[in-house]
Structure 1
Amino acid sequence: MTHTGHSPAAAPVVARLSRLDRFLPLWIALAMGVGLLAGRGIPGLGDVLDAVHVDGISLPIALGLLVMMYPVLAKVRYDRLDEVTGDRRLLWSSLVLNWVLGPALMFALAWLFLPDLPEYRTGLIIVGLARCIAMVIIWNDLACGDREAAAVLVALNSMFQVVAFGILGWFYLQVLPGWLGLEQTGLDVNALQIAKSVVIFLGIPLLAGYLTRRLGEKAKGRAWYEGKFLPRIGPAALYGLLFTIVILFALQGDQITSRPLDVARIALPLLVYFAIMWAGSFLLGRGLGMSYERTTTLAFTAAGNNFELAIAVAIATFGISSGQALAGVVGPLIEVPVLVALVYAALYARRRFRAPT
């Protein structure tokens, strides 16, 4: 990724993106298509890809996620993190959006759109509980959001995820439905497994990014690090993203293509969810007087979900062929193209954005 600073210019923002960034929707559509075709057309491919796991997630997907996150985290200015942690508006807004409004909205939409499909409904609720710690870093970077703020909010979400995921799962699948006279569902969640997932998929690339910047600047200086090294490793983030998408859809392609009507019913509440969460968070950021960069970061960290965790929990609890697992798989099928579109929406809004004085 080769973004050129954060100050708006007269030329359209999108036109200043690299060719790889500019045609990202096309590359993602091709990656999804290749994955779906491979999953359907190559016998036994899914079994091979799923044969080795890292904390419940297929090894190829795990490698793709790590490759995807490392370059962006290597770009973070870790000496500026104290500027973010001092922004109480940003931190509290993110916590409320992610851990109060997000799960509640997904619960409401799941029951509104899928009252007769309990397996899919439960899967969507699980997706709503899994707050994003991976791909949101990519979307935020593409939209020229605040990298340091994204690193802090992702780390904050990760800590809350370890503690809150199981508690909220119990509340939204058992307690609240009981209060409302609705059908209840159990969820077996191991907090230790979630903690391990956070350490692997956030801790490893975060530590690698921090050490790379610290050692690189110490050895060669900041000008070399930011002017020479980062442009070389930057494209690896998108290559990792595309690789992850291909593998993910190859693994689940048969489920997705064999039940198109079910996929459509699951997709509708997801579309509504992403639109409400992103637009509402963006308007909230502006209303609170945040800069474009932090408003964008707030919006993407609130709208994104940790589909890797949601799929892993659904498979572990209900089985790989369950409706809950299918709902988790449909999550990235909808989230990826929608959030790519919202990257362009954010870049469009940026030209008219006036930071507070």
Structure 2
Amino acid sequence: MTATHTRHETVAAKLSTLDRWLPAWIILAMVAGLLVGRMVPGLGDALSSVEVDGISLPIALGLLVMMYPVLAKVRYDRLDTVTGDRRLLIASLALNWIVGPALMFALAWLLLPDLPAYRTGLIIVGLARCIAMVIIWNDLACGDREAAAVLVALNSIFQVIAFAALGWFYLSTLPGWLGLEQSGLDVSAGQIAKSVLIFLGIPLLAGYLSRRVGEKRWGRAAYEEKFVPRIGPWALYGLLFTIVILFALQGDQITSRPSDVARIALPLLAYFAIMWGGGYALGKALGLTYERTTTLAFTAAGNNFELAIAVAIATFGAASGQALAGVVGPLIEVPVLVALVYVSLALRARFPHPVPSYAVEPR
């Protein structure tokens, strides 16, 4: 038996049943959400009746539950090792704020030249860099938790500063320069800052305080061996709950317009594959470890769908093509990035650095 095969078995043995069957649970959650949304009239209106920063309250709660356990696992005293890695930080900023938006703009115009509403919606998705689910994908793929925390925080800062300006550039200015049809985007930095504060700030603060208080009370070993395994499964429970509610809210739109969903899905599939593959190749070329290469790839490929949907609905309306494009985003992103988790784990043998044991604790 080879050493590589042994490592595969070791990692697989440490994964819980929930983790090993994650693709099946996610598919079931998506199907359940679609069916519930179609079979229960008025459910969408009921779920949307209470919102947090333009996001349905159940989705907001699901996101907070999803992010807290992973952020509670972060070793915050190690963040200086990430902030000192200029190769990682510069590569991430370039992929997220130069390559990502430009690639989505190009794919949207190339593959949806006759569908301006969907095209605009996809461009908005490309501008909304990931600050939530990427933490889950990174953790499942045994990426660097500390690096993920730093890159997500960095993306959040740039999101507040750059989202509105990039929206103006890619929807109005650049199309005008190229002689293409122009669109508009009405969103303020204050709106984005509030979204970031809610969906990243709250779970980040809770995770940091859990680590500080827990280590002070029990010590690091007890915190990581007893407390962390207890809260770990809640990240995936939150993920599955969020998926069910999200697709229940938009189930009617998705199932009643399958041909439109297929058209929107094509550029999204190309985008996720190119961004993840490009991030992975760049990390390898820069000589980053497996853990940081994985983190770079997933933070480049993921998108902040909750922000994209909220902006599309606020600007163009809940029944708009732009909103539908935002909703199709997670429909494609979730299964694709789950598949890439397994691709990433299969590729880790190509790196000389072993996966640290703390990265694959049972949930």
Which TM bucket (shorter chain)? over 0.9
Shift of 1:191: 1.0
| Counterpart Cα distance in 2 of 1:264 and 1:291 | 37
Is residue 265 of structure 2 the alignment partner of residue 258 of structure 1?
Answer: no
Shift of 1:353: 2.2
Cα displacement string for residues 143-171 of structure 1 (whole angstroms, at most 9, x for unaligned residues): 00000000000000000000100000000
Give unpaired runs (5+ residues) of structure 1: 1-7
- AA aligned to 1:295 is T
Pick from 248, 252, 264: which aligns with 2:246? 248
CA contact (8 A) 1:292 1:355 kept: yes
CA contact (8 A) 1:70 1:237 kept: yes
**Which structure 2 residues correspond to residues 84-163 of structure 1 after superposition, within 5 A?**
84-163=82-161
Aligned to 2:357: none
Is residue 337 of structure 2 the alignment partner of residue 323 of structure 1?
Answer: no
- AA aligned to 2:145 is R
Cα displacement string for residues 157-213 of structure 1 (whole angstroms, at most 9, x for unaligned residues): 000000100000000000000000000001101110100000000000000000000
Pick from 18, 21, 24: which aligns with 2:19? 21
- AA aligned to 2:266 is L
CA contact (8 A) 1:13 1:347 kept: no
- AA aligned to 2:20 is R
% identical aligned pairs: 81
**Which structure 2 residues correspond to residues 222-233 of structure 1 after superposition, within 5 A?**
222-233=220-231
Aligned to 1:341: 339
Aligned to 1:350: 348
| Counterpart Cα distance in 2 of 1:102 and 1:144 | 23
Give unpaired runs (5+ residues) of structure 2: 1-5, 355-363
Shift of 1:15: 4.6
Pick from 194, 199, 222: which aligns with 2:197? 199
Secondary structure class of the residue paired with 2:143: coil
| Counterpart Cα distance in 2 of 1:186 and 1:269 | 21
Q: How many residues align?
A: 349
| Counterpart Cα distance in 2 of 1:101 and 1:14 | 34
Q: TM-score normalized by structure 1?
A: 0.96
Is residue 308 of structure 2 the alignment partner of residue 279 of structure 1?
Answer: no
CA contact (8 A) 1:70 1:206 kept: yes
Secondary structure class of the residue paired with 2:184: coil
| Counterpart Cα distance in 1 of 2:175 and 2:353 | 43
| Counterpart Cα distance in 2 of 1:279 and 1:10 | 22
- AA aligned to 2:283 is G
- AA aligned to 1:83 is T
Q: TM-score normalized by structure 2?
A: 0.95
Q: Which runs of 4+ in 1 moved over 6 A?
A: none
| Counterpart Cα distance in 2 of 1:12 and 1:173 | 48
Secondary structure class of the residue paired with 1:9: helix
Is residue 304 of structure 2 the alignment partner of residue 303 of structure 1?
Answer: no
